[in-house]
Amino acid sequence: MLSYIARRVLIAIPTLFGVATVIFALVHLQGGDPARVIAGANATPEDVDRIRHQLGLDQPLLVQYLIFIGNLLRGDLGTSVRSGQPVFNEIASRAPYTVELAVISTILAVAIGVFLGVVAATNHDNPIDLAISSFSVFGVSMPVYWLGLLLIILFAVNLHVLPAAGANQPTGFILPSLTLAFFSIGFIARQTRSAMLEVLDLDFVRTARAKGADRPTVLVKHALRNALLPIITVIGLQFGTLLGGAILTETIYAWPGLGRLLVDSIFARDFPVVQGTVFVFAAALIFVNLFTDLLYAYVDPRIRYD
């Protein structure tokens, strides 16, 4: 297992290098002059040139890239051109909000999605199965930003029971979590239904029923446990999707996480923060994929990484 983890970590290094290269290229291709944005509309050309020199933007693009990669290898993500603070500090102050939102949304999506998938599989081809399948398709098809606006109108504007934005109140995470989890609920429910239908027809499930095992034991201990591998794969992928989906959700609900930081930095042409934030998202996704692979061996003892 340790050798497998070491190999995966070594593989992740060139992957992160490639991600950093793509991030640098895309950020600098978006256009705009960060020095002009920072200096303001009334700044003189001399002021803009001075700021551009301070940021290193007067260097050739290749030199800027080499400086970026060199700083990255030392763990230095640069300095924000807006706040003057290290990018690492900016990300560290926002990351807990995004992680909290992603974890709560994942728990909601797994609990509701697996339950709906099991119910749909055990009621195959009847109205309950049709209703859950239709809800799953609706959930997968619903855009995050549109659902967020609908929930704000319903619960914040019309009913006045939940805050529309911010993280200052204990109930502030409810609407963002529901919005972020809605897509994953439909996806996990569909995968759980499909995996359960395959397992329910296998011999060991019929044997458990023939021995007189009660229905919950057959469904949970025998069927669901042996259908977990594809479900875990979907959950791992969805967690990465939730991190990406947090960009829109945090913007809609003014949630002070990495997603909102990224959007604000793009509009401000804050290149170091944009590069650092996207790089952190990519590294988190790689880590989640590794953790998902390791979880396979825990769920199914027959799996070994030699």
285: in domain? no
Q: How high is the pLDDT of residue 131?
A: 93
Q: Same structural domain for residues 63 and 104? A: no
Which backbone phi and psi does 86 adopt, to 5 degrees? -60, 140
Residues 125 and 162 in one domain: yes
Please report which confidence band the pLDDT of residue 128 belongs to, taking 50, 70 and 90 as the band edges.
very high
pLDDT at 167 exceeding the cut of 80: no
153 has pLDDT over 90: yes
The pLDDT-based confidence of 132 (bands split at 50, 70, 90) is very high
Q: Residue 240: inside a domain, yes or no?
A: yes
- Helical segments of the chain, H only: 2-29, 34-39, 45-55, 61-73, 87-122, 127-141, 144-151, 174-200, 203-210, 215-217, 225-226, 228-252, 258-267, 271-299
For 235-254, the pLDDT digits (tens) are 887 777 777 667 888 888 88
State the maximum Cα–Cα separation within the chain, in Å, rounded to a whole number: 86
- pLDDT, average across residues 29-37: 69
* Shared domain check, 12 and 108: no
Residue 86 inside a domain? The answer is no
pLDDT at 302 over 60: yes
What is the distance in angstroms between the CA of the first residue and the CA of the last residue of the chain? 7
Domain-embedded: residue 282? no
Query: Do 59 and 130 belong together in one domain?
Result: no
Same structural domain for residues 190 and 258?
yes
Q: Are 51 and 117 in a shared domain?
A: no
Residue in 271, 269, 280 with CA at minimum distance from that of residue 96 = 280
Residue 281, domain member (yes or no): no
Q: How many domains does the chain have?
A: 2
Q: Is residue 224 part of a domain?
A: yes
**78, part of any domain:** no
Examine the domain organization and report whether 104 and 232 are in the same domain: yes
Among residues 235, 238, 226, the alpha carbon closest in space to that of 299 is found at 226
Residue 99 sits in the same domain as residue 34: no
Q: Are residues 59 and 159 in the same domain?
A: no
How high is the pLDDT of residue 249? Answer: 86
pLDDT band per the 50, 70, 90 thresholds, residue 115: very high
189 and 64 within one domain: no
Instruction: Please say which residue of 11, 43, 73 terminates a domain.
Output: 73
Phi-psi region of 59 (alpha: psi -120 to 50; beta: other; left: phi over 0): beta
Mean pLDDT of the chain: 84
Confidence of residue 216 (pLDDT cuts 50, 70, 90): confident
For residues 127-154, average pLDDT: 89
CATH number at residue 108: 1.10.3720.10
Residue 278 lies in a domain: no
pLDDT in tens, 272-296: 888 899 888 888 888 888 888 777 7
Question: How many CA atoms within 13 Å lie on the side-chain side of 51?
Answer: 19
Q: Are residues 124 and 31 in the same domain?
A: no
Domain that holds residue 240: 95-267
pLDDT in tens, 70-100: 988 888 888 887 788 899 999 999 988 888 8
Residues 179 and 249 in one domain: yes
**Banded model confidence at residue 114, pLDDT cuts 50, 70, 90:** very high
Residue 34 has pLDDT above 60, yes or no: yes
Tell whether the model's pLDDT for residue 228 goes beyond 80: yes
